[in-house]
């Protein structure tokens, strides 16, 4: 059922994608054609060979830090989450091993191609580095760090202008996320000697084919620009370790003002929902009354609702040799978190991006 749905989804994407691969009709492309070349364009959209393409490459560095604990909307102290060693005090909400700080860094590479005036495709390849500091009551592991790195899940996206007016447009995105990121990362943990399967947070991918969807509105009037959008990511099936990450959904509103020819400050409010993890990775469990040695091994202690406020700016030179380059900087801070806890709460996100159109 799930696999057939994925097939249908991919067919839908490529059905609409394929005919347009031949229809180059952007103003820049046609403006660079001679009369002879213009006469060779077939109105049915085929047989048109243009030399200019609309490529873009971008790089984004993103660093997220998670620190401190929260259950629902209440902060809870580390001492409440760390099991004190007295069996009488052990509950499903305290653990012998407790992550204190999780740092996730991602180097995200994106190659995009504008098929025509209406649509574009892009491939997103993330390289992920993550580390987690822990404290525990296990002898020899009172404090330790685990880190992993590697390529994450590669995403193929197709975006298309759905509606366009004088100063605004609605753009939709659909795609497929491929399970290229590892879900079998191992490391030395207090669970037993040697290397063992690492918790969900230390894995690099989802292990599943996922369906990212999104719809965005962009508007502009004089120096002001604004937008709103909604997005979701659906996980189609359980991975080879018998779980799937939580489905996600989100909404965003933003506004920016071009205060000079090249500088635009941007303010954004973002809502994110993430479902808990479904399924269970049995290798993360211990054979005790309370089988989860750490909160990050319990699939129920993931997900929740978050609202983040972010501020940043875009730098886009309008002329000269850097005309096709743009830089962006953002800092986001959660202003509301309702987590399926106890869970490590998000502290902040910094991202820096660079984009080149050619």
Instruction: Using CB under 8 A, list all residues that contact other proteins.
Output: 5, 8-9, 12, 16, 23, 25, 27-28, 30-36, 38-45, 72, 118, 160-166, 172, 174, 211, 213, 215, 232, 234, 236, 246-247, 273-276, 278, 300, 303-305, 338, 340
What's the rounded Cα separation, in Å, for the pair 14 and 121? 11
- Cβ atoms of 58 and 112 closer than 8 Å: yes
Long-range residue pairs from 285-288, CB within 8 A, at least 24 positions apart, any chain: 286/191
Nearer to other proteins, 46 or 223 (CB): 46
| CA distances from residue 111 to 56, 115, 124, 177, 301 in whole angstroms, order as listed | 6, 13, 7, 15, 35
- Cβ atoms of 24 and 41 closer than 8 Å: no
Nearer to other proteins, 31 or 289 (CB): 31
Closest CA to 173 of 134, 142, 131, 218: 218
Residues contacting residue 169 through CB under 8 Å, at least 6 positions apart: 161, 162, 163, 217, 218
Residue 35 CB, nearest approach to other proteins (Å): 5
What's the rounded Cα separation, in Å, for the pair 115 and 55? 9
Burial class (CB in 10 A: 0-12, 13-18, 19+), 249: middle
Distance from chain centroid for Cα 334: 16
Nearer to other proteins, 225 or 340 (CB): 340
């Amino acid at each position: 059922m799930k696999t057939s749905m994925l097939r249908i989804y991919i067919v839908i994407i490529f059905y609409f994608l394929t005919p347009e691969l031949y229809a180059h009709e952007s103003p820049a492309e046609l403006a660079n054609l001679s009369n002879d070349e213009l006469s060779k364009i077939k109105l049915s959209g085929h047989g048109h060979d243009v030399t200019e393409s609309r490529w873009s490459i971008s790089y984004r560095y993103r660093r997220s830090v998670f620190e401190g604990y929260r259950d629902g909307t209440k902060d809870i102290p580390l001492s409440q989450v760390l099991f004190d060693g007295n069996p009488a005090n052990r509950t499903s909400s305290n653990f012998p091993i407790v992550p204190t700080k999780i740092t996730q860094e991602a180097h995200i590479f994106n190659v995009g191609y504008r098929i025509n005036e209406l649509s574009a495709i892009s491939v997103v390849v993330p390289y992920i580095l993550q580390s987690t500091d822990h404290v525990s009551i296990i002898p020899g592991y009172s404090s330790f760090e685990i880190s992993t790195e590697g390529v994450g899940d590669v995403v193929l996206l197709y975006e298309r202008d759905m509606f366009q007016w004088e100063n605004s447009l609605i753009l939709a995105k659909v795609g497929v996320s491929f399970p290229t990121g590892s879900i079998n990362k191992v490391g030395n943990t207090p669970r037993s000697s040697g290397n063992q399967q690492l918790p969900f947070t230390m894995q690099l991918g989802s292990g599943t084919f996922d369906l990212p969807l999104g719809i965005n509105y962009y508007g502009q009037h004089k120096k002001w620009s604004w937008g709103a959008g909604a997005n979701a990511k659906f996980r189609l099936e359980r991975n080879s370790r018998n779980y799937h990450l939580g489905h996600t959904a989100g909404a965003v509103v933003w506004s920016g003002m071009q205060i000079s020819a090249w500088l635009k400050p941007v303010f954004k409010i973002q809502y994110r929902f993430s479902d808990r993890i479904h399924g269970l990775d049995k290798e993360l469990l211990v054979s005790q009354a309370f089988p989860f040695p750490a909160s990050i091994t319990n699939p129920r202690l993931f997900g929740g609702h978050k609202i983040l406020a972010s501020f940043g700016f875009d730098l886009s030179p309008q002329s000269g040799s850097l005309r096709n380059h743009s830089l962006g900087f953002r800092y986001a801070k959660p202003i509301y978190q309702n987590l399926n806890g106890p869970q490590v709460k998000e502290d902040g996100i910094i991202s820096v991006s660079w984009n080149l159109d050619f």
